[in-house]
Structure 1
Amino acid sequence: MPFRFRLPGALRLVLLLLGWLLLAGPARATHIVGGEMELVHNTGDSYTLVLNLYFDAVYGSASALDADLTASIFEKGSNSRMANVVLPLTSNTFVNYTNPACAQPSLSTRRLVYSKNITLSANTYTNAAGYYVAVERCCRNNSISNIVAPGNAAQTFYLEFPAVVRRGSPFYDSTPRIFPPLADYACINELFYYDFGGRDADGDSLVYDLVTPLNGHADTNTPKPASAQPAPYSDISWNPGLSTTNQIPGAPTLRIDRRTGRLTVRPTNQGLFVFGVRCAEYRRGEKIGECRRDFQLMALACPTNTKPRIVLQPTATGAGIYRPGRDTLRFVPGGNRCVRLRFTDPDPNTRLTLTLSPVNFTGLLPNFTTSTTGAVRSPGAPDTLTATLCFPECLNSRGRVFLLDVVVGDDGCSLPKRDTVRVAFTAVPPPNSPPQLVTTAGPTLPLHARVGDLVSFDVTGTDPDNDPIQLEMTGQGFNPASLGATLSQGTQANQQRGRFTWRVDCRAVGADSVFNFQFAAATSPCSERQAATVSVPIVVRYANRPPTLTSDLPAPKNGADLPEVVLPLGQTYTATFNGVDPDRDGLTLMATGTASDGKEGFDLGSAGMRFVAQNGSGVATGTFRWDVSCAAANLHRDLVVAFQLIDATCRPLPQVQRVRLRVKSPDTVAVKLYNVITPNRDGQNDEFRLPELPPNFCDSQFTNIRIFSRWGQQVFESTDRDFHWPGTGSGGMFYYFITYTDGRRFKGWLEVIP
């Protein structure tokens, strides 16, 4: 038998790498691998515009690594330029291989991220046809095998997005994110697969297809235009025999799943192949945008990698082998639930890994009780590995046949080879009895309570299978916690005991006074909820009769709206009040100064008044005292005092009595203003006096009198209310002014006849 030797890990690619370097030859203008654009909605009219550009980290010239690139936004219907946006470089990282052990120095890719926050105003971006963004840059790798003159071919990165207003309302959209970028290579005559599927932040539907990459207007003379030109953009030119539907020579050629974005190809030729993928975005069946990814795939002649092999052996059947498509494993309570797996690989120095993939079910999965990885056919390693797979007791197929793929994969390059055993099985979990729940709230329901009562009873849950129990409390149409009801619980032996406690308060008083508390004893055997429930209705009774307020206030007179008390200065007025409540609720008596003329109320103390109350349960008394003084008179208005009796209950029925209080002013006659005197000493009308002026009262005090000649010269002034002025010797016409402290004024003229 001929001897076969397999190089481990990346070392087995040394010969492959040398071959590829010879194939590639000298590199000129080889830097852009591919890229795509994204538009991310932030909030309101704020968005982030992103260009992901993939750069050849091996042959790319450092001078071609741009610090910024310019994106141009156009209106799709008219190709009118809306804006040019300079995108600075914000990130520079390497793209990882799926299997790092397969990496090779000739294939290394950087992901350059150019991004900037932009504003898409709702007053500007309203065209129903939508908009597109483009970035143009030259040039591609000159070693590309499937297009004409690749070293002179440019790239146009292209993105479409909808108007930000639709049918008069804001229309927000983040374009799809196609991920992850491709770092791996393909092997000729081997099936290559890769997930180009994306995600959409808005939950829009995504549809994928292959497109011819765009060339655009950039060239070797102008590799980095100041801005992109409007569409249309020219396509790259395929080599003879290739096209949009046949981009990479293969059997089959390159394909993409419309729904998942999964790429597949079995290349038949070595080389570096460019390809294009389009992701269209749909919302409610209407296309609203698209993004394109322009990329390239390297196909190499790889060392032969033989597929591994796996077999399954049910332990209950001895040495029998499970036959996929013919056998069905049946797991029942008390029976064996484990199977043995044997897996190997013909190639030496291979490391194998087991994985599980459910086909037609979700939830619990079997678990490996032994290692799922290992090396075969290397020094000290066996030719065949074994593992044990056990199906959980709680796994329940509910009468269906579940399908599970058991997969073994090797560490071959560029992608692992796999072997799959599809296991059909049914599973029945152990039988389980539901829990039980009892309360001490009975025997007669509903329970009745009044505000202030303490309602309490026990709730006990048991389970025949001794499953852990949790007691739960809910309310039908209400939250028990919002009423102050609690359920404390603890475990005793095999029981879960709870204590319901509710101090009924005013929160329970409403239109609906029946509260249906619902209790449950819940278990979760095999993660499936089982519960026993009990309802305890509680009726809250509430009734309130109004209290009675009596006093010795006078009755209103002559159809007045309020009783009135009018007293002169120096007098004292008292009134007594009595409150009684038939329900023996707590009573509170209070007095407040109010207003009868639309003005603000007043403080009783500022008017010489005070009120003393003795409050209590069912009875309250109070005494009002008014010492009549200028303190009340100086307020310059009628004083209304309200006496209120309030019962302390959920819905009080307060009782109110009011009285109007006034300070009696001294009697005065109409003011007479004299205007002639004859100072001839005949004893009649010899002096100027005004005895009928208003008397002094509280803050209305006489201030002064001033007399002026007809030419404005003051001839007399006095602060005495009982002033006397005999006139002047020459006689004539005079004018006088009289003022009071409250602002009142009197003025007139006076003729002096000698």
Structure 2
Amino acid sequence: MKHFHRILLAFTCFFLFLTNCVKADHMVGYDMTMISLGNDLYKFRVVAYRDVLGIPIQNSFNFNIYKNSDNSAAPTPSFVASQINYVAITYDPKDCPPAGADLRLEKYTYESPSMNMSAFNSASGYYVTASTCCRNVGVTNVLNSSSTGITLTMDFPRLNSTAPTRFNSSPEFRKAPLAFFCVGKPYTLNWNIVDPNGDSLVYYVAQSNNIGSTKPLPVIDYAPGYNLFYNNIDGVPDLTMNIKTGIINFIPTKVGRYLVAFRVEEWKKASGSTPGYKIGEVRREFQLETVLCSDAPPVTIDELNQKRVIVDTVYYNTVYDKIFTSRDSPTDSLYMMIIPNITPGENVLDPVKFGGKWGEAGSVLGNNSNLILDDLAQVKGEFYWKPSCAVVRPKPYKFTIVVRDKTCPSPFYDSTFVTIYVKKKPNYKPYFVEPDTMKTPKTKNYFVLAGDKFQLQGDTLIKTYDKDSLGNVVSLFMEPDPGNGVVNSKFVFSSNPNVIHSTATFSWQTLCEDVRSTPYKVRFIAEDDDCLKHDSAYFDVNIYVRQRPNLKPVFDKVLNPIEYHIPEGQTKSFNVRVNDSASFAVNQYDSLTVTADLSEFNVPGGVMPTFSPVVSADSSVTPFTWSPNCANVRTDPYHLYLTVQDNGCPRLTKRDTILVYADGPFNSAPEFRDPLHPASIITTLDTSIYGGEVFSYNLFAVDTNQRFDSVFLQADYTSDLFAFGKVTNLAFLAPSFGKDSSRTVLNWQSDCKDISATPYVVKILARDNECVNPERSAFTINLTVKEKPNYTPKFNSATATTFFNMLAGDTLYIPLSAVDTNHIDILTLDTVYTSIPHQLPLPEITRASGSDSVRTFLRWVLDCSLISDQAYTIKIGAWDNACRLIADSARYQFTVKVNRNPKLVPYFPFATGDTVIQLVAGEKYELDLTSASATPGDFIEIATSGDVYGGITGNLATFEQTVSAGTAQAHFRWETSCDQIRDNVYTAVFKTANPPCLTDTNTYTIHFKVIPNTDITEELPNVFTPNGDGTNDVFSIKDKFKVYCDPEFSFTIFNRWGKKVFESKDPEFEWDGDGAGAGTYFYTLTSRVRTQTGSVNLVR
């Protein structure tokens, strides 16, 4: 940016502006706004722009506030805006700052303190001003610019509490201005002017203000040839601002420095019939410079001075490296980029398929290259590519190198179009040196004995040669015939690829199983890595595997045992011998392996023998060792299956079997003994018990063997006492295990249901743990369950009554007791039968149990639901715990007859009969009725009838009833009407009864006499105290004067000066004295009967 030059002030400021005018500070522009803070508080913000080469800008501005209507001082006449922030301005490249320009401007922000402006109520609004001096020297469109000052100003509306513009905030310039522009370039600027309140904005180009204080403010003097309307900045078109959008357009045509100004009017939008109106105005003034910028595009060439179009050819696996250089004059920023063909399969920068690289010249192979390169005046880019064989094709590859400068708003471009053909060189196919496939047949036959190793060595049998000068690598491959089967996986092949000579080795360890009449086939292939088409040569090998002679091995029938016995608990061994049936000269490679099948020796809990195979030539001796235990002992022999095999081709096998016995000792069964006489052997017990008793028996068994075998006692669970369904409760016997002898106990809880003349059979088993055949014996118990002798219980004489004649509402109470002559029995007393339906109240009886005698009682509350012509039957039983049925117990049976009770008639709690009540027409009458029963559980009802419920003119009476157990409640209400006055009475009849108890009815009858209005019935009150204590708080006559159906009724209250303070047409009015002071008030009562006056005292 061209430097601004400071000049000395040529004059002193006028005295009028001493407080606001300062020396020149290179201030190049400003804008300002007013901000609402809420609660009628506001602050002003000023943004000033300064050339950084000027003297420092001032730290504050002193503003005055004036009314628009008469330039008089505002309620708050002045304020100081102090500097709060400073930033250096930076520009977005999209704003097109000139290339290389020194755009060093500073932005200073000033703010006033918050001010309460609720007193600003002038309809014409207000404005603020502050002045400073001076402008920069050499401003093209201003006359004597260095002597021209600046006035900072803006307008705002009234802000008082009733103003529609209260809480208004002024428009704000959100974007800083650009200071430099290129001659000949079109510009469109948007300063992002926003109104926080959404008011309408109108935009104008304005003339800058000179130093001033009050309106009208002085403006600058334009230099000759310049004015606001047709030549402001030498633009073609000249500077314009869209009145609706605020968008600025111009094209500068000369180099110069210009002062421009803009104003933004704030308008309140139209609402209904109220048109829109202006409420404020803000300004922006700014100094801009126009400079010469680059107007020629950059030029790009490669190292061969080629440009625009470059066509090259490269062989695959050869490096293609191209450097592109672009220069620009005059000096400008340049951007260079590569644009590949992004069609699938064409992008040379694809790192997977092509591997082309682009970046700064000299660093393209590094990791920090950029796809877009930039520099000043000159930029260099490098393209590096080593194409592989896979990308060879007739069609070329293309990309474009694009360079642009920073000419704004429309940069210049230069493009270089590059075309690359990728080709392959000529090639010769390789051939085998050994075997010489050029002179000999391509198939070789080989023979090998089964078990031998076949191999082909490199340099003697597999060797290739390639006479290409391209340096193509020749690879050797093995391709076995699928007909070889699993043998293919046993081939060992190793190759050593090279450029000129390549070699390989092949080997195969044959097995006996590989013998067959047809050959195994393998193909060996030599192939170079030439691009596109791999040239190759091959030869085939047939390998025949032949069988070698062999004879079977044999078992030694003389030395090997046919069968072998091993006692239980001992360890014994014997040897298994085998021999080869041919001499070493015939079976020179044979060795013998003996194996045994021991699966038959694997028994639960037993011990396995050991047999370790031994491999040896000609003959073999293998030991068999076994220590059988009890689990192994059995009468049948174990079969030791033996197999011997040699390793000849083919392998020959011989099998043999040896019988091995595990022998056990002599054994006898355990014996049951009498627990009280251990020497006595017992086998059977006959005994009996009474039903319900516990049977318990001690069991004892011993073993007589000298080996002192263990004895195990357990029940035979198929016998009667352990079988489900045979007895009520199953017997219990804990299994017992002991050395030489064993003891346990049999327990059984019998039941009365188990009584039977046939004995129950119980078996207990005893066995030992001998190895061969564990012996066992049985002990049998024949148990008979008998009925115990017994006597039937008896009721005492107090229960002799068998019929009870009762009234509803009574309670039946019967004491009960019974005795049993068997003192050891448990006696029970309880109800066993009743004919009372389950939905009716049942008698209460507590079951009683005890020995000898028991007592309890029966209690029955007889409510009306039990009234019946039929008597109820109840049976009480007394039984003991002897084995007998309840049906065989003592019985006490009685009947109960429940009759209607005349005493249960419900009643009203007042005198019943006929009553006459006199009502004034329009009067309300209400009656609460309650009826109670003598028994609390009954449901009482109240019924009503009469002409007050229908068939008459006027209002009808209402009746509501609530019924609950034992009590009924009802509410009667009748509000008479004026058309019900007559000589005859009206009748309402109320009846109450107890339907469940079939009682008589209690009746209450009311006769109503409806008469016309009456006069005063009592003296009217003359004082009341409305103090909120709930006593005498209102003045009313409703309890003193019965007046209904009187359209002429009125009650008016006056104060002592005759002013009416209250009036009502309702005889039931209430006056609480609201708004009236203490004192005497006068009233007038007017009705069809009389007119009366009086006074009432209000006491507070």
TM-score range for the pair, normalised by the shorter chain length:
0.3 to 0.5
Higher alpha-carbon Rg: 2
Normalization by structure 1: what TM-score? 0.41
Normalization by structure 2: what TM-score? 0.30
Higher relative contact order (CA 8 A, sep 6+): 1
